[in-house]
A = this chain, B = another copy of it.
Amino acid sequence: MPVFQPQSDALRATRRQALWTGGGLAALVAAPGVALADTGKSEAPAKALPAYARWKNADAMIVHSANTIELRRDHFGQGSVTPTDYLYVRNNLNPPSEDIVKDPDAWVIEISGVANPMRTTLGELKRLGLTSVTMVLQCSGNGRGYFPHKPSGTQWREGAAGCVTFTGVPLKVVAEALGGVAGGAKYITGTGGETIPEGIDPKTVMVERSVPLAALDDAILAWELNGEPLPLAHGGPLRMIVPGYMGVNNIKYIKHLAFTAEQSPAKIQQSSYRFTPVGTKGNPGAPSLWAVPVNSWLTSPVQQGKPVKAGRVQLVGVAFGGAHPIKGVEVSTDGGKTWAAAQWFGADLGPFAWRNFVLAVDLKPGTYQVATRASNAQGEVQPRERVENERGYNNNSWLDRSIELVVA
Q: Is A249 among interface residues, defined by CB-CB distance under 8 A?
A: no
What residues of B have a CB within 8 angstroms of the CB of A80 in the complex? Answer: 132, 165, 227
Which residue in B77, B167, B349 is a CB contact (below 8 Å) of A78?
B167
Q: How many copies does the complex hold?
A: 2
What residues of B have a CB within 8 angstroms of the CB of A128 in the complex? Answer: 312
What residues of B have a CB within 8 angstroms of the CB of A84 in the complex? Answer: 83
CB distance from A306 to the nearest CB of B (A): 13
Q: Is A97 among interface residues, defined by CB-CB distance under 8 A?
A: no
Is the Cβ of A78 less than 8 Å from the Cβ of B347?
A: no
CB distance from A379 to the nearest CB of B (A): 24
Q: Is A346 among interface residues, defined by CB-CB distance under 8 A?
A: yes
Q: A275-283, A350-358, A367-375: which one contacts chain B?
A: A350-358
Is the Cβ of B132 less than 8 Å from the Cβ of A346?
A: yes
How far does the alpha carbon of A84 sit from the alpha carbon of B83 in the complex, in Å? 9
* Contact flags A303-318 to B (C-beta < 8 A → 1, else 0): 0000001011110100
- The interface centre, meaning the residue of A77, A227, A347, A358 with most chain B CB atoms within 10 A of its CB, is A227
Q: Is A224 among interface residues, defined by CB-CB distance under 8 A?
A: yes
What residues of B have a CB within 8 angstroms of the CB of A350 in the complex? Answer: 347
Is the Cβ of B228 less than 8 Å from the Cβ of A313?
A: no
- Report if A314-B83 is in contact (Cβ < 8 Å); known contacts: A77-B228, A224-B78: no
Which residue in B81, B126, B131 is a CB contact (below 8 Å) of A226?
B81
CB distance from A360 to the nearest CB of B (A): 7
Nearest B residue (CB) for A77: B227
CB distance from A32 to the nearest CB of B (A): 12
Q: Which of A63-92 contact B (CB under 8 A)?
A: 76-84, 86
A-B pairs with beta carbons under 8 Å apart, 13 shown: A77-B227, A80-B227, A81-B226, A81-B227, A83-B83, A83-B226, A83-B227, A86-B228, A127-B314, A130-B316, A131-B345, A132-B346, A347-B350
| Besides the known contacts A78-B167, A83-B226, A347-B347, 4 further A-B residue pairs in the complex with CB atoms under 8 A apart | A57-B228, A81-B165, A81-B226, A86-B228
**Chain A interface residues toward B at CB < 8 A:** 57, 76-84, 86, 126-134, 165, 167, 224-228, 309, 311-314, 316, 345-350, 353, 356, 358, 360
